[in-house]
A and B are shown apart, each in its own frame.
Chain A
């Protein structure tokens, strides 16, 4: 990492997403970023207000109250997914670069429009996909892209979380279970990270998609909770993903993430994205990461991209491509057929 000068002033917009507190903390901790405003758009406004007090920054009810005098350069958008387009339009008008939490939109029309809005305004639009900044995958990506591992053959990825509404803490995650606000269920929520990881590792685009996605575990949900998809890339790489809200309450981690990678020279079995340790309390047994570089890595790359006047590691096109693949998987599951992508 080179030395950069300057500071990027951030607003954190909305605590609807469970990830918002983590991004706020990472922005506050970054040596070249400054948190200057928090807004309470959408759900969990009281949490947003409490966080603003904790960090000693002004709280606003809505992004509409953020005045030009704040001279914002960047914003993290943690709203319900269906509001992303409206927030992005505001950011584009204001010339503000954004980290917009995933997925980009609930549908491809909105996603396409957002990419175009960002392009025309010349703002950075990054959807943060954590695997790009997880140490085991960075190691594998390097071995593949620099040739040490030979050619990539296939990747099998597991990403299971618990039902978001089971998260501890003051935030409500009820909107994650609403198809209109979230755009999909567990497969979209969690699987999209793996889709992006596979695009990144394969260094290619998906051509064929076949999936089964359904409400397999929580029969009362209005959205899916588990899916499996087979992806074929234009360079012959096969990607298979199992993803959803399949982790039982008794699992020792909130997330289970595994990647199994076959190349013409090596096999990699990644059993966790993080270095962790076990804690056995009187209540339960958990594994907790003692090193999580991913959110800090995403924020750091974004801040440096602004200061170095370059694109961030993840572009608007990456965000669109990942959503297009996930939505093609839903379409495949509906039709029971292979979906071919352009």
Chain B
């Protein structure tokens, strides 16, 4: 049967993740159609509309008003997640929202309450959980290949190209490397341990001039201790040299009672490329240095499946709230220089 799309989607936020990560995914998802794209910078919406055939908007309220839109995909700065998500849910839309869930725990609770109230579905895009390399690691751990995990080390490192006034640098906008990148690490630890942490200790540094201008850490080491005694060491950095990212961005090492799983972009890369000017380089095979486009596609597909089949998404809002609580505590630890206790679940 050549059925028409079952779900119509509006995308709010046509920046990096929205335009380059999410929007192209809809081309590959049979049961969804991207019908509207919106950005406060109208040109960005217009450009994306031209590429996708969706209609461009500058004011998100037009998307709330459109009754034919079932799902809103929110790729806006973190501080706008909760206000937009709550409004969208109350307008009867299902919501897929970028990580972290919100800027504060109270805002996260507002989203959770709005879902209960409206019966709509919402999921936070913790995209690492849909990334095939990390799914392989998760599978290996779940199969018992390495026994019980006892120590996990995760690093996500690059050179952030944005100027000091970009929201990414500012914790009050939900930015800063601890919150923006750390939340991926926090969620990965909880996902692999299937536990919540009881304490966190973080040491941050302002390395680059841009970080000093923004008065924001760009290089941080975060240690979580979990209820079962497991330890997670996360390193999040925007302070590496500009060429560092692509072939070197991520590494993950899970030490278990009976073995280890190791992943690193560097070791995993199948080729080296030589160039007379730049010398040897590890080529980047995916649009983003941190995520494959397949992961975004699988994440969106999963959420839309949950909407169609009326099932609970694999990542609960409580999971996303816990990840936020973990990074807020890490930020507090880095700011105060002291370990911070956590009581989650």
Contacts and interface: CB of A to CB of B under 8 A. Distances in A.
Interface of A: 153-154, 156, 158, 160, 208, 210, 212, 214, 216-217, 219, 226, 228, 230, 232, 236, 238, 240, 242, 246-248, 250-251, 260, 262, 264-267, 269, 336-338
Given A212-B223, A230-B221, A236-B205, A336 B339 contact: yes
B283 interface: no
A238 B221 contact: yes
Given A212-B223, A336-B199, A153 B205 contact: yes
Nearest to B255: A246
B257 A242 contact: no
Interface stretch (B20-28, B89-97, B231-239): B231-239
Contacts of B338: 338
Contacts of A242: 151, 153, 233
A318 B62 CA distance: 68
Interface string B333-345: 0000111000000
Given A210-B201, A228-B151, A240 B221 contact: yes
Interface of B: 146, 150-151, 153, 155, 199, 201, 203, 205, 207, 219, 221, 223, 225, 229-231, 233, 235, 237, 239-241, 244, 248, 253, 255-260, 266, 337-339
A156 B235 contact: yes
B207 A338 contact: no
Contacts of A246: 151, 255, 260
Nearest to A337: B339
Contact of B221 (A154, A251, A265, A337): A154
A232 B155 CA distance: 19
Nearest to B153: A242
A158 B255 CA distance: 12
Contacts of B339: 210, 336-338
B220 to A, nearest CB: 9
Contacts of B248: 267, 269
10 contacts: A156-B235, A210-B201, A212-B225, A248-B146, A248-B259, A248-B260, A250-B259, A251-B260, A262-B237, A338-B337
Contacts of A214: 229
B239 A262 contact: yes
A124 B254 CA distance: 42
A228 B257 contact: no
Nearest to A232: B203
B239 A217 contact: no
Nearest to B338: A338
A262 B239 CA distance: 8
Nearest to B240: A267
Given A217-B255, A242-B151, A262 B219 contact: yes
B151 A226 contact: yes
Nearest to A208: B337
A155 B260 CA distance: 22
| Dominant secondary structure at the B interface | strand
Nearest to B147: A217
A133 B266 CA distance: 26
Contacts of A251: 260
Report, nearest first, the 9 A-B pairs whose CB atoms are least far apart: A216-B150, A212-B231, A248-B259, A246-B255, A267-B240, A240-B221, A210-B201, A153-B207, A217-B257
Contacts of A236: 205
A265 B260 contact: no
B244 A267 contact: yes
Contacts of B223: 210, 212, 228, 230
A198 to B, nearest CB: 13
A260 B156 CA distance: 13
B159 to A, nearest CB: 10
A265 B233 contact: no
Contacts of A250: 259
A262 B266 contact: no
A260 B264 CA distance: 13
Contacts of A210: 201, 203, 223, 339
Contacts of A154: 205, 219, 221
B145 to A, nearest CB: 11
Contacts of B199: 336
Contacts of B155: 156, 260
A267 B203 contact: no
Nearest to A241: B233
A111 B240 CA distance: 39
A89 B100 CA distance: 60
Contacts of A226: 150-151, 255
B135 to A, nearest CB: 22
Nearest to A247: B260
A266 B241 contact: yes
B151 A216 contact: yes
B229 A228 contact: no
B240 to A, nearest CB: 5
A153 B150 contact: no
A154 B237 CA distance: 11
From A153, A160, A247, name the one whose CB has the most chain B CB atoms within 10 angstroms.
A153
From A160, A248, A264, name the one whose CB has the most chain B CB atoms within 10 angstroms.
A248
Contact of A240 (B230, B233, B240): B233
Nearest to B257: A217
B141 to A, nearest CB: 14
Nearest to B202: A230
From A212, A250, A337, name the one whose CB has the most chain B CB atoms within 10 angstroms.
A212
